[in-house]
């Protein structure tokens, strides 16, 4: 999987010499960045299924990791999982191997699905650090009108499957982004036969207090559904904006001739 991504990435760069505007206009395939932070692998597992859903809906998905802010010593004490070396990580320092810039991660796509574990009902410092670094983008209005959705992981049932998304909204709202929830578009959400994560805000999983629980089949299917649902919205928006741009560029419509 990562191999094909690598190929996409380079392919995209080789086309950079052409005017970027035309590539955005003519390409109807929506590019979705799945940007996530995962300390114990629960959010990473959801992200892979979100990607499946994105691709099933005919969009192009790209997994990107949010960097660690804690020291190796602290992470060892917390028994954190090793990061996936095949997936690029955002770096504030340009040119580091297997990294992408914050701007590339947030700007060079048609939509963002962000994977956020919870810390006391809100986003962890690692994710907040990314948003706190977007002041320059905010000044330029670089994220205005960009669709964003979220998926999440909490320890327990009352642990933030709604509040993590709700409190993250302030960042999106200040940037003028378009929040795309899943609502109740999937019957999996209303399943009462088993304990499962996810809410109207997005897909989710329960890790349990000790992190021993892994995402269930239902939770992974819901993540896949979110990937598809979000991609359909983003694709429609991309096509609509392209049509609007071409109408504005050629005001003399055939109907008027």
Q: Could you report the per-residue pLDDT of 162-184, keeping only the tens digit for each?
A: 999 999 999 999 999 999 999 99
Q: Could you report the per-residue pLDDT of 196-221, keeping only the tens digit for each?
A: 999 999 999 999 989 999 999 999 99
Question: In which band, very low, low, confident or very high, does the pLDDT at 255 lie, cut at 50, 70 and 90?
Answer: low
Closest residue by Cα to residue 223 from 83, 36, 87: 36
Is residue 249 pLDDT above 90, yes or no?
Answer: no
Section 103-132 average pLDDT: 97
Phi, psi of 125 (to 5 degrees): -55, -35
Phi-psi region of 235 (alpha: psi -120 to 50; beta: other; left: phi over 0): alpha
Residue boundaries of the structural domains of the chain:
31-245
Cite the DSSP H helix spans in 71-162.
72-77, 102-107, 125-132, 135-140
Is residue 112 pLDDT above 90, yes or no?
Answer: yes
Question: In which band, very low, low, confident or very high, does the pLDDT at 96 lie, cut at 50, 70 and 90?
Answer: confident
Rounded-to-10 torsion of CA 229, 47, 58, 183? 0
Going through the chain in order, the beta strands assigned E by DSSP cover 31-36, 60-65, 89-91, 99-101, 111-117, 147-154, 178-179, 204-206
Which of 21-30, 95-104, 171-180 is modeled with the greatest confidence?
171-180
Please tell me the predicted confidence (pLDDT) of residue 201. Answer: 97
**What mean pLDDT is reported for the chain?**
89
Q: The CATH number of 31-245 is which of 3.40.50.360, 1.10.10.10, 3.30.360.10, 3.40.50.10860?
A: 3.40.50.360
Please tell me the predicted confidence (pLDDT) of residue 95. Answer: 84
């Amino acid at each position: 999987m990562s191999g094909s991504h690598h190929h996409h990435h380079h392919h995209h760069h080789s086309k950079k010499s052409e005017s970027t505007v035309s590539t955005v206009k003519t390409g109807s395939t929506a590019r979705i960045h799945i940007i996530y932070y995962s300390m114990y692998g629960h959010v990473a597992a959801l992200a892979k299924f979100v990607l499946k859903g994105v691709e099933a809906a005919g969009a192009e998905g790209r997994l990107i990791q949010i960097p660690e802010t804690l020291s190796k010593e602290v992470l060892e004490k917390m028994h954190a999982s090793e990061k996936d070396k095949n997936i690029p990580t955002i770096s504030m320092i340009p040119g580091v191997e297997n990294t992408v810039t914050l701007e590339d991660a947030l700007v060079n796509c048609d939509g963002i699905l962000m994977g956020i574990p919870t810390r006391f009902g809100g986003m962890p410092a690692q994710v907040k650090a990314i948003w706190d670094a977007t002041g320059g983008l905010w000044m330029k209005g670089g994220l205005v009108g960009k669709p964003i959705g979220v998926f999440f992981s909490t320890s327990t049932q009352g642990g933030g499957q709604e509040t993590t998304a709700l409190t993250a909204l302030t960042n999106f709202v200040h940037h003028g982004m378009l929040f795309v929830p899943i609502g109740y578009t999937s019957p999996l959400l209303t399943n009462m036969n088993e304990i499962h994560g996810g809410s109207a805000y997005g897909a989710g999983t329960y890790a349990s207090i000790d992190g021993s629980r892994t995402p269930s089949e239902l939770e992974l299917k819901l993540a896949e559904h979110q990937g598809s649902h979000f991609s359909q919205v983003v694709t429609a928006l991309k096509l609509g904006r392209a049509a609007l741009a071409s109408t504005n560029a050629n005001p003399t419509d055939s109907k008027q001739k």
